Amino acid sequence: MFQGLSEKLQETFKKLRGKGKLNEADVNAAMRDVRMALLEADVNFKVVKDFVAKVKERAVGAEVLESLSPAQQVVKIVHEELIALMGGAESKIQISPKPPTIIMLVGLQGAGKTTHAAKLASLLKKQGKHPLMVACDIYRPAAVKQLEVLGEQIKVPVFAQAGRAAAEIARAAVEYAFKQGADVLIIDTAGRLHINEELMGELQEIKAQVQPQEILLVVDAMTGQDAVNVAETFHARLGLDGVILTKLDGDTRGGAALSVRAVTGCPIKFAGVGEKIEALEAFYPDRMASRILGMGDVLTLIEKAQEAFDEKKAQEMQQKLRKQEFSLEDFLEQMQQLKKMGPLSSIMEMIPGIGKQLKDVTIDEKDMAHVEAIIRSMTSDERRKPSIIKDSRKRRIAKGSGTSIQEVGRLLKQFEQMQKMMKQFAGGLPGGLGKGKKGKRAGLPFVR
Amino acid sequence: MAGFFSQLKQGLVKTRQNFVDKVGELLTGRRKIDEELYEALEEALIRSDAGVNTAMELVEKLRQEAKNRKLTEAQELREVLQELVADLLGAGKPLNLAERGPTVILVVGVNGVGKTTTIGKLANYFRREGKRVILAAGDTFRAAAIDQLEIWGERSEAEVVKQKEGADPAAVAFDAIQAAKSRQADIVLMDTAGRLHNKVNLMEELRKVKRVITREIPAAPHEVLLVLDATTGQNAIQQAKLFQETAGVTGIVLTKLDGTAKGGVVLGIQGEVRIPVKWIGIGEGMDDLRPFVPRDFAAALFSGLDEADG
């Protein structure tokens, strides 16, 4: 996510860092690079202009040029301005005091409305709500079916009516929600071009009928300069309350993220970061700014870890690590928990400084599955004492897991190295191990 | 041809409004050529998603040409810019069809660009030419994607070969080709699941689909069409590059050109990766897919200026 942009900006700042003192020409040169980087990232032309002007104004101020680490100061300013650009603090969806809370999703075709209706429903369900999804996309072939299939997957009911107008369906859904005790209504609408009068009228009709608390625009993060036009038109016609940014797991530089808020004033509330239903994150401008500048995002990482890890198990694990009793069985357990945190590549991105190192490393989730299969093919004795695994056992394990003897050997060797490394850690750390420490590259058998 | 031209113009009316209005403002009127003008032109190109590099290169070339031809009036620059754009787009390339047996067309792209819809439109196009068409439901991942393709199959009277959701798309490809051979179909349109180009596993899956197709018919797939959403920004270039590497893309279908998206992405792509644009989607109807004709496209882009000139 944001990889290209982040790389370009870091390069620029590296150039600045080489200089002890900065003069105005240095700043100007850096700002030219920043401008290029942002434009290549699809940030809207006008937004770039304003952004660069603002940063420049602050950067040529006395406090920067005369400070001891001017480059650091410039980075700080860019960081702050990026946060401001994306809306400052995190904004949540408003839950109506009188249920049901009605959320309406709108956007262009192919932005990901239907998928994100389900992602949002799943997220709200996890928070203890009782969502109901409403299928108001009556145009695209099989769109209703798609929502129904997704509803089945996440066990959230779907309201659909054949042969009726979208606004009527929406109104009927509200009544249905009352009866069924659903407290959140998520309305999926048909994708449309913002210049299509008829369909925009239909959205206004739905809005008038059900008075949603939240109208969220679903925007594809890969959108170019047009993102701003789209957002402006939808905002003018419907009055948007926020934005869901989708497909952020691609290699897009995500300029749309930076532009939409700046132009419409509507905060980005969620970001879609993968194909799985769970891959929806709350959007934190400050954390995102840190990721763009390659500073990592430790906060999100910790939160994810807290969600996925069982506190008691973690403490047990710590004990084991300190006593150097960490076995392959424990390793398997750790892998299970790690998997709960989401795709490995996105986890790695959040670790400060690691994003760049890992640029050319492909993390194959399949390798993880192989490792799992190998460990599962071992007896519990073998898992606890891998040193007893000699050729004949290796052959059996390889057969059992559908891998090769070489792969089994490699895993054992890597595990041994990992244990050695942990000994060093355990000896050197007073309070035991932090959770991040096992992320050391050499120790992960599934990182190539 | 005239009908096509006017429809294309209609579809591109928004494109023209945005791109041409800006360029038009700059180029009409009795302005002298100066540095400010070139900068404004570059800006207009960037705002059309042409990309910073492509915009700079185009303007640099325009500068050279203006010098060579000793142009002094801003208005004369228009002709030159139109020529440069058309040159960049290259010559139109017809679809590669099999001389004997079925022609297999593999359709790929990221999520939500309109692959299934494009296949529906292509099916309709080939059916109208009297061809026997088989649709292969290779998007076994997205919920209800198979149903969506079946509806398109009914509309265009094309047969659909499918398996269950979650099935191996390569197996669907195999089935479809066997069916095409035994039923003597002319065209196989192979749908695939949308995949982000940076997902290694999914791209490998695509490689496998292609491998299976080639194993069954050595010359196939005859075309690998990458569907691109015209609203996409610079990432489209990355998409083109990576799908090219994995699947050997032979042509681009540019969809959703009927919005305010400026189509500049086409210039950007041609400037960086040479893959010809073969079709454009300019509406939601079954017939709203047109073969891409670079000259017409360039002319339609700039034709607003003639009207403005009166």
pLDDT in tens, B173-205: 999 999 999 999 999 999 999 998 888 889 999
| B238 contact A CB<8A | yes
Give the pLDDT band of residue A246 (cuts 50, 70, 90): very high
Start-end of CATH 1.20.120.140 domains in chain B: 2-91+299-309
Residues A221 and A168 reside in one and the same domain: yes
Q: Domain B2-91+299-309 belongs to what topology? A: Four Helix Bundle (Hemerythrin (Met), subunit A) (1.20.120)
Last residue of a domain, one of A236, A268, A293: A293
| A253 contact B CB<8A | yes
In chain B, which residue's Cα lies nearest the Cα of A110? B112
- List b or e across B249-260, with b for residues whose CB sees 16 or more CB atoms inside 10 angstroms: bbbbbbbbbbbb
Query: Helix or strand or coil: residue B112?
Result: coil
| A137 contact B CB<8A | no
Give a yes or no: residue A64 inside a domain.
Answer: yes
Give the pLDDT band of residue A361 (cuts 50, 70, 90): low
**Is residue B105 scored above 90 in pLDDT?**
yes
**Is residue A350 scored above 90 in pLDDT?**
no
Least confident of A236-250, A335-349, B148-162: A335-349
- Antiparallel, parallel or unpaired: β B277-281 and B289-291: antiparallel
Selected residue with higher pLDDT from A17 and B123? B123
In chain A, which residue's Cα lies nearest the Cα of B242? A251
In chain B, which residue's Cα lies nearest the Cα of A365? B201
In chain A, which residue's Cα lies nearest the Cα of B120? A141
Work out the mean pLDDT of chain B and round it to a whole number. Answer: 84
Mean local confidence (pLDDT), A205-211: 95
Q: Which residues of A touch B10 (CB under 8 A)?
A: none
The pLDDT of residue B74? 76
- List b or e across A279-305, with b for residues whose CB sees 16 or more CB atoms inside 10 angstroms: bbbbbbbbbbbbbbbbbbbeebbebbb
Residues A342 and A228 reside in one and the same domain: no
Task: List pLDDT tens digits, range A369-399.
Answer: 888 889 889 998 888 888 888 889 999 999 9
The pLDDT of residue A442? 38
Residues 259-278 of A with CB under 8 A from B: 275
For chain B, what percent of residues have pLDDT higher than 90? 44
Give the pLDDT band of residue A430 (cuts 50, 70, 90): very low
The pLDDT of residue A333? 79
**Is residue A434 scored above 60 in pLDDT?**
no
Task: List pLDDT tens digits, range A147-170.
Answer: 999 999 999 999 999 889 999 999
Residues A125 and A12 reside in one and the same domain: no
Matching residue, tokens 């239909």: A202
Residues 286-305 of B with CB under 8 A from A: none
Mean local confidence (pLDDT), B24-41: 72
| B47 contact A CB<8A | yes
Q: Which of A193, A247, A249, A368 to mutate to test the interface with B (most CBs of B within 10 A)?
A: A193
Last residue of a domain, one of A273, A293, A313: A293
Length of chain A: 448
The pLDDT of residue B269? 85
Q: Any idea what the CATH number is for the domain that residue A433 is in? A: 1.10.260.30
Residues A116 and A225 reside in one and the same domain: yes
For chain A, what percent of residues have pLDDT higher than 90? 29
**Is residue A310 scored above 70 in pLDDT?**
no
Residues A116 and A261 reside in one and the same domain: yes
Residues A200 and A322 reside in one and the same domain: no
| B17 contact A CB<8A | no
Residues A408 and A435 reside in one and the same domain: yes
Would the CA dihedral through B59, B65, B71, B72 be positive or negative? Answer: positive
Query: Helix or strand or coil: residue A220?
Result: strand
Q: Which residues of B touch A225 (CB under 8 A)?
A: 46-49, 233, 262
Residues A206 and A178 reside in one and the same domain: yes
Selected residue with higher pLDDT from B33 and B281? B281
The pLDDT of residue A251? 76
DSSP H helical segments within A155-196, as ranges? Answer: 166-180
Whether A194 sits inside 8 A of B260 (CB atoms) is yes
**Is residue B301 scored above 70 in pLDDT?**
no
Domain coverage including residue A48: 3-85
Domain count across chain A: 3
Q: Which residues of A touch B47 (CB under 8 A)?
A: 45, 225
Tell me how far apart the alpha carbons of residues B13 and B19 are, in angstroms, rounded to a whole number.
10
Is residue A177 within 8 Å of A138, Cβ to Cβ? no
- Which residue in B130, B131, B126, B121 sits closest to B288, CA to CA? B121
Whether A153 sits inside 8 A of B143 (CB atoms) is yes
**Is residue A213 scored above 90 in pLDDT?**
yes
Start-end of CATH 3.40.50.300 domains in chain B: 103-292
Task: List pLDDT tens digits, range A221-230.
Answer: 889 888 888 8
Whether B262 sits inside 8 A of A226 (CB atoms) is yes
Please state the φ and ψ torsions of residue A163, each to the nearest 5 degrees.
75, 20
Question: Of the CATH numbers 3.40.50.970, 2.60.40.10, 3.40.50.300, 3.40.1280.10, which one belongs to the domain with range B103-292?
Answer: 3.40.50.300
| A109 contact B CB<8A | yes
**Is residue B304 scored above 50 in pLDDT?**
no
Q: Any idea what the CATH number is for the domain that residue A15 is in? A: 1.20.120.140
Mean local confidence (pLDDT), A195-200: 84
* Centroid of chain to Cα B115: 11
For chain B, what percent of residues have pLDDT higher than 70? 83
Give the pLDDT band of residue A440 (cuts 50, 70, 90): very low
| A236 contact B CB<8A | no
Is residue A44 within 8 Å of A228, Cβ to Cβ? yes
State which of A33-42, A352-361, A433-442 shows the largest mean pLDDT. Answer: A33-42
Residues A158 and A252 reside in one and the same domain: yes
Give the pLDDT band of residue A194 (cuts 50, 70, 90): confident
The pLDDT of residue A437? 39
The pLDDT of residue A231? 92
Give the pLDDT band of residue B154 (cuts 50, 70, 90): very high
B149: Cβ–Cβ under 8 A, 6 or more apart, which residues?
A: B116, B119, B120, B135, B137, B139, B160, B162, B191
Give the pLDDT band of residue A432 (cuts 50, 70, 90): very low
Least confident of A14-18, A86-90, A436-440, B156-160: A436-440
Give a yes or no: residue A96 inside a domain.
Answer: no
Give the pLDDT band of residue A295 (cuts 50, 70, 90): low
| B209 contact A CB<8A | no
Q: Any idea what the CATH number is for the domain that residue A184 is in? A: 3.40.50.300
Q: Which residues of B touch A222 (CB under 8 A)?
A: 110, 229, 232-233, 235-236
**Is residue A204 scored above 60 in pLDDT?**
yes
Give a yes or no: residue A91 inside a domain.
Answer: no
Residue A406: Cβ-neighbour burial (10 angstroms; 0-12, 13-18, 19+):
exposed
**Is residue A133 scored above 50 in pLDDT?**
yes
Work out the mean pLDDT of chain A and round it to a whole number. Answer: 81
Whether A224 sits inside 8 A of B234 (CB atoms) is yes
